[in-house]
């Protein structure tokens, strides 16, 4: 199984899509930093009642002045979206190309296929954090006034939480792609969850059964309030994320062991 994990990391490394996604993520992140710093310097705040002028806007509810806020607001949010698209293609390609026929018959092949994707998810999570915090630490002090870099312990605990978020989110995507065996389903869930579009639907559905309080624990809600979660890390959040990890990967393993290729 360890060998399958090595093979999947090697495949990701050889994938053009991964490197393109990395460049796109970095580019968008840098653009966001520049736009945000320009907006903050110009003090050009627009309230919701004023008509929007033509242009590219990113709505941010706070002044970004620290590395954690910068990394979570822009780097991590875009990272989840962009690397999520790459992951969907990566998972689905094993089925669409038929390479899965090479790996399933190997020792613990059916489990290895899923667990190796968890390792790939971890790798993508680390990549997102590296870009978010690395580029943020480099460019934040240059572009942002009064930019603060939090103490190492604070940054470390934030990164661990974000890493867990990434794993949980990518596990959901892996499950969807394993279930439907195509990348479109993974990309759709990526957009719906990362953008928060599913949140309203989820809240309404839960409200119908008087469980609207549970909407607080959805991945969409966590991602919508990611900066708050990182600032004030709660054990509750960590536990819920672990539950998502176990449930989605468990479902993926169950599907892998039950279905014919």
Partner 1 sequence: MAYVIETENLCKQYKETMAVSGVNMHVQKGDIYGFIGRNGAGKSTTLKMLNGLIYPSAGKIRLFGEERNQYSGRRIGALIENAGLYPHLSAYANMNLKATAMGLHQPDEIIALLSLVKLDFKSRKPVKKFSLGMKQRLGIAMALLGQPDLLILDEPINGLDPEGIREIREIITTLNEQRGMTIIISSHILGELSKVATRYGIIRAGELVEEISADDLDRKCRSYLSLVVDDPKRALVILESQVDIQDYQVIDSHEIWIYDELDSAQVNAWLVSSQVQVSQLYYQKQDLESYFLEKIGGTSNA
Question: Minimum distance from CB of 181 to partner 1 (Å)?
Answer: 14
- How many residues are there in the chain? 261
CB 34 within 8 A of CB 40: no
As a whole number of angstroms, the distance between CA 186 and CA 223 comes to 17
- 253 binds partner 1 per the rule CB under 8 A: no
| Subset of residues 1 to 40 that bind partner 1, contact rule: CB under 8 A | 3-4, 6-7, 10-11, 14-16
SS3 173: helix
Residue 79 pairs with which residues in a beta bridge?
Answer: none
CB 219 within 8 A of CB 190: no
129 to 148: interface string for partner 1, x by CB under 8 A: --------------------
| Subset of residues 77 to 116 that bind partner 1, contact rule: CB under 8 A | 93, 97-109, 112
Q: Enter the tokens of residue 61.
A: 């509810």
As a whole number of angstroms, the distance between CA 59 and CA 31 comes to 14
Size of interface with partner 1, in residues (CB under 8 A): 26
Question: Minimum distance from CB of 104 to partner 1 (Å)?
Answer: 6
202 to 241: interface string for partner 1, x by CB under 8 A: ----------------------------------------
CB 244 within 8 A of CB 171: yes
Q: Which of 53, 61, 232, 260 binds partner 1 (CB under 8 A)?
A: 260
Region of residue 20 (left: phi > 0; alpha: psi -120 to 50; beta: else): alpha
Smaller CB separation from partner 1, 104 or 188: 104
Smaller CB separation from partner 1, 105 or 250: 105
Residues in touch with partner 1 (CB under 8 A): 3-4, 6-7, 10-11, 14-16, 93, 97-109, 112, 260-261
């Amino acid at each position: 199984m360890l060998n399958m994990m090595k093979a999947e990391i090697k495949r990701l490394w050889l994938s053009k899509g991964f490197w393109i996604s990395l460049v796109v993520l970095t580019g968008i992140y840098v653009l966001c930093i520049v736009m945000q710093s320009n907006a903050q310097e110009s003090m050009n705040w627009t309230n919701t009642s004023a008509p929007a002028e033509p242009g590219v806007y990113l709505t941010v509810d706070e002044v970004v002045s620290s590395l954690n806020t910068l990394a979570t607001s822009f780097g991590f949010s875009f990272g989840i979206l962009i690397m999520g698209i790459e992951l969907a293609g990566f998972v689905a390609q094993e089925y669409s190309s038929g390479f899965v026929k090479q790996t399933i018959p190997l020792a613990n092949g059916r489990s290895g296929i899923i667990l190796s994707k968890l390792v790939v998810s971890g790798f993508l999570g680390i990549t997102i954090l590296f870009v978010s915090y690395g580029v943020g630490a480099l460019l934040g002090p240059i572009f942002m006034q009064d930019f603060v870099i939090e103490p190492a312990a604070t940054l470390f605990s934030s990164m661990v939480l974000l890493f867990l978020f990434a794993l949980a989110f990518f596990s959901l995507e892996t499950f969807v792609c394993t279930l439907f065996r195509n990348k479109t389903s993974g990309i759709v869930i990526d957009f719906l969850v990362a953008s928060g579009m599913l949140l309203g639907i989820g809240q309404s559905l839960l409200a119908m059964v008087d469980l609207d309080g549970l909407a607080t624990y959805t991945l969409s809600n966590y991602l919508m309030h990611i900066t708050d979660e990182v600032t004030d890390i709660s054990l509750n959040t960590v536990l819920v994320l672990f539950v998502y990890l176990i449930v989605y990967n468990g479902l993926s393993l169950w599907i892998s062991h039950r279905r014919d290729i």
